[in-house]
Amino acid sequence: MQQTVVIGAGISGLALAYELQCAGLDTVVLDSASTPGGVIKSENHGGFLVELGPNSTLTKPPVRCLIEKLALENELVLPQDHARKRFLAIKRSPAHPLELCAAPMSMREAALTPILSPLGKARLFFEPFAKAGQGVDESVDSFISRRVGREVTEMIVAPMLAGIWAADLERLSMRSALPLLWSFEKEHGSLLRGAISHFSKKRKESKPKKTRARLASFQTGMSALPQALRRALAPDSVQLNTEVLRIEETAGGICIHCRRPQPWPERLKPHSAPGSDGATTAILAERIVIAVQSPAAARLIEPLSSKLAAALRTIPYAPLGVLHLAYRQHDVQHPLDGFGFLIPPKFKQPLLGAVFSSSLFASRAPDGFHLLTVFSGGAAAPHYADINDERVREQIIRQLNFLIHAKASPQIIAQTYWPQSIPNYPLGHFHLQQAAREFEAQHPAISLLGAWDTGISVADRIDQASKLAASANWQTLNQSKRIARN
Ligand SMILES: Cc1cc2nc3c(=O)[nH]c(=O)nc-3n(C[C@H](O)[C@H](O)[C@H](O)COP(=O)(O)OP(=O)(O)OC[C@H]3O[C@@H](n4cnc5c(N)ncnc54)[C@H](O)[C@@H]3O)c2cc1C
């Protein structure tokens, strides 16, 4: 019998398995895919380093700690100095075409920016006096508009959040998606007062500059992280091409029924003989962690709790198109001197925004080329997500050429259509989080982990994995089961 089996070798499952192995627990990770990392996928196409999934992560303390343990510090890459600016697409007047304008990065810049009208700016500075909400949850759109006004929401906050969540903000839960801002209002009655209190507390902790969270990636791209985790795990600990079909609670442990074409390694003796197709077998575990996307988690949980399974199925995932485009530098008139740009969803454009990938990190494109990663669709404009459709692709490229003043069309390096990219927490998501905790209390040998639960970013996933690994009952549960069996 296996001590612990983690289903899903995305960053959540791998980071957890690593922490558990460090704590002395024999752990195996199963994944249906042929490579580890889940949505983290970096590819090198003739010197263009493209990220099909996440472009970067924040080096928050749990991420930094993991990077240090994996001895990956020397592979870390930080943004180039000229990549500080962020651009927003604006219209000088309704008759004007869209153009890129540097986004304000401070209150002083907000006071001077042409992105907002004098009235919009005045409303922003009125934030500390805005009425507090009374509900147990609220949409991000309604909460932010109430606090900082409609114009700031539409022109600055909506594009920034759509860039992270690819969400329709009218349907995204403020309480679950942005819990820190939600708590600022609840505890301080204002975002500004909450932020001042939060950051002054942090400043008192007086972290040395070196340890502050920075945006980062790795020389060979984000895939360096799951690959390093796989290398650090004991041999045979990550079993790929292994789809978990169902799980079953038995007196002897959790029976995990899998489909895998290849035989199991010696140390993972199957619990059952292969099924009639020769590819379906089961292994037995003392404890399992389900670290997969919510639709897959729902399928596995269904026989144990149809109620939680039904709730998991209600989490929408935003469809997203990701296109990697190479331009010859002399064909682009815009200096691309920033992180990238975002387009306010109110303009209803095919493009959500783009990352200037070769400006952000060094060595992402051969000399003489720019590499851009372009995002389209999202929950608010799903019809623009399918970039396998040539007409959608053409519209995207035409608009991009216009915004960055390109004289020639780009070369398409890679493209990915994510029909389900990022979970968008719906209103009342906290009820589902509570139901998940109740399920875990009723089934102590099963834990749930995933971006559908608490936090979508790579940093959130690593943080949640290390919190789960540190939760007290791992050793005790496994020990008590062993004692009972002996
Ligand atoms: C296009 C895109 C861009 C993003 N950009 C950023 C970014 O720049 N920065 C950032 O911080 N975050 C970003 N994110 C979010 C972040 O990357 C993800 O939320 C995070 O990586 C999810 O990790 P995970 O391990 O929870 O899930 P996943 O990566 O989805 O992994 C789940 C794994 O479970 C496996 N699985 C599913 N069902 C089964 C089964 N039945 N049996 C066995 N295995 C199964 C899957 O094959 C998969 O490998 C982005 C996400 C996407 C999609």
Inform me whether the pLDDT recorded for 403 exceeds 80: yes
Cα 39 to averaged position of ligand 1 atoms, centre (Å): 4
Cα 384 to averaged position of ligand 1 atoms, centre (Å): 21
What are the Cα distances from residue 350, in Å, to 199, 272, 400?
A: 37, 51, 10
Averaged confidence pLDDT in the chain: 92
Cα 95 to averaged position of ligand 1 atoms, centre (Å): 41
Per-residue pLDDT, averaged over 157-184, amounts to 94
120 and 144 share a domain?
yes
Determine, yes or no, domain membership for 150.
Answer: yes
Per-residue pLDDT, averaged over 423-451, amounts to 96
Cα 451 to Cα 167: distance, rounded to the nearest angstrom? 14
Per-residue pLDDT, averaged over 280-301, amounts to 95
- Of 407, 423, 439, the position where a domain reaches its end is 423
Cα 114 to Cα 97: distance, rounded to the nearest angstrom? 15
Tens digits of residue pLDDT in 212-222:
889 999 999 99
Residue predicted with more confidence, 5 or 203:
5
Residue 274 Ramachandran class (φ > 0 left, ψ -120 to 50 alpha, else beta): beta
Cα 353 to Cα 181: distance, rounded to the nearest angstrom? 24
Cα 149 to Cα 159: distance, rounded to the nearest angstrom? 15
Query: Residue 2 — very low, low, confident or very high, per pLDDT cuts 50/70/90?
Result: confident
451 and 365 share a domain?
no
Other C-beta atoms closer than 10 Å to the C-beta of 106 total 8
Q: Choose which residue among 246, 376, 458 to substitute to test ligand 1 binding: the one with the highest number of ligand atoms within 8 A of its C-beta.
A: 458
Q: What angle do CA 350, 369, 161 make, to 5 degrees?
A: 35
pLDDT for the residue 485: 45
Domain that holds residue 132: 116-204
What is the percent of the chain where pLDDT is above 90?
A: 80
Per-residue pLDDT, averaged over 181-210, amounts to 85
Determine, yes or no, domain membership for 71.
Answer: no
Cα 15 to Cα 27: distance, rounded to the nearest angstrom? 12
Inform me whether the pLDDT recorded for 51 exceeds 90: yes
Q: Which atom belonging to ligand 1 lies closest to the Cα atom of 458?
A: 11
Three-state SS for the chain is CEEEEEECCEHHHHHHHHHHHHCCCCEEEECCCCCCECCCCEEEECCEEEECCCCCEECCHHHHHHHHHCCCHHHEECCCHHHCCEEEEECCCCCCCCEEEECCCCHHHHHHCCCCCHHHHHHHHCHHHCCCCCCCCCEHHHHHHHHHCHHHHHHHHHHHHHHHHCCCCCCEEHHHHCHHHHHHHHHHCCHHHHHHHHHHHHHHCCCCHHHCCCEEEECCCCCHHHHHHHHHCCCCCEECCCEEEEEEEECCEEEEEEECCCCCCCCCCCCCCCCCCCCEEEEEEEEEEECCCHHHHHHHHCCCCHHHHHHHHCCCEEEEEEEEEEEEHHHECCCCCCCEEECCHHHCCCEEEEECHHHHCCCCCCCCEEEEEEEEECCCCHHHCCCCCHHHHHHHHHHHHHHCCECCCCEEEEEEEEEEEEECCECCHHHHHHHHHHHHHHCCCEEECCCCCCCCCHHHHHHHHHHHHHCCHHHHHHHHHHHHHC
- Of 134, 169, 204, the position where a domain reaches its end is 204
Tens digits of residue pLDDT in 53-107:
999 999 999 999 999 999 999 999 999 998 989 999 999 888 889 999 999 888 8
Domain count, the chain: 3
440 and 419 share a domain?
no
Query: Atom 25 (ligand 1): residue with closest C-alpha?
Result: 10
Inform me whether the pLDDT recorded for 210 exceeds 80: no
**Could you tell me the CATH number of the domain that includes residue 330?**
3.90.660.20
164 and 134 share a domain?
yes
Tens digits of residue pLDDT in 328-376:
999 999 999 999 999 999 898 889 999 999 999 999 999 999 999 999 9
Structure tokens at 207: 């972290």
Determine, yes or no, domain membership for 39.
Answer: no
Cα 360 to averaged position of ligand 1 atoms, centre (Å): 22
Cα 321 to averaged position of ligand 1 atoms, centre (Å): 15
370 and 439 share a domain?
no
From 267, 268, 250, select the one nearest 258 (Cα to Cα).
268
Provide residues with CB under 6 Å of ligand 1: 7-13, 30-33, 38-40, 53-57, 243-244, 291-293, 296, 320, 322, 418, 421-422, 450-451, 456-459, 461
Q: What angle do CA 116, 121, 127 make, to 5 degrees?
A: 135
132 and 259 share a domain?
no
Q: Which atom belonging to ligand 1 lies closest to the Cα atom of 320?
A: 1
Cα 65 to averaged position of ligand 1 atoms, centre (Å): 21
Question: How many Å separate Cα 255 from the centre of its chain?
Answer: 30
198 and 137 share a domain?
yes
Residue 132 Ramachandran class (φ > 0 left, ψ -120 to 50 alpha, else beta): beta
Yes or no: say if 191 and 148 are a contact pair by the CB < 8 Å rule.
Answer: yes
pTM to 2 decimal places: 0.94
134 and 157 share a domain?
yes
Amino acid symbol at 182: W
Q: Choose which residue among 5, 6, 60, 292 to substitute to test ligand 1 binding: the one with the highest number of ligand atoms within 8 A of its C-beta.
A: 292
302 and 229 share a domain?
yes
Q: What are phi and psi of 216, to 5 degrees?
A: -155, 160
pLDDT for the residue 457: 97
Inform me whether the pLDDT recorded for 486 exceeds 50: no
Cα 457 to Cα 176: distance, rounded to the nearest angstrom? 13
Structure tokens at 403: 């915004």
Cα 36 to Cα 17: distance, rounded to the nearest angstrom? 13
Cα 449 to Cα 8: distance, rounded to the nearest angstrom? 10
477 and 438 share a domain?
yes
- Of 172, 204, 236, the position where a domain reaches its end is 204
403 and 449 share a domain?
no
Yes or no: say if 248 and 254 are a contact pair by the CB < 8 Å rule.
Answer: yes
Inform me whether the pLDDT recorded for 275 exceeds 90: no
Yes or no: say if 399 and 381 are a contact pair by the CB < 8 Å rule.
Answer: no
**Could you tell me the CATH number of the domain that includes residue 439?**
3.50.50.60
Cα 87 to Cα 337: distance, rounded to the nearest angstrom? 9
154 and 124 share a domain?
yes
**Could you tell me the CATH number of the domain that includes residue 183?**
1.10.3110.10
Cα 129 to averaged position of ligand 1 atoms, centre (Å): 40
Of 94-98, 114-118, 164-168, 383-387, the least confident: 94-98
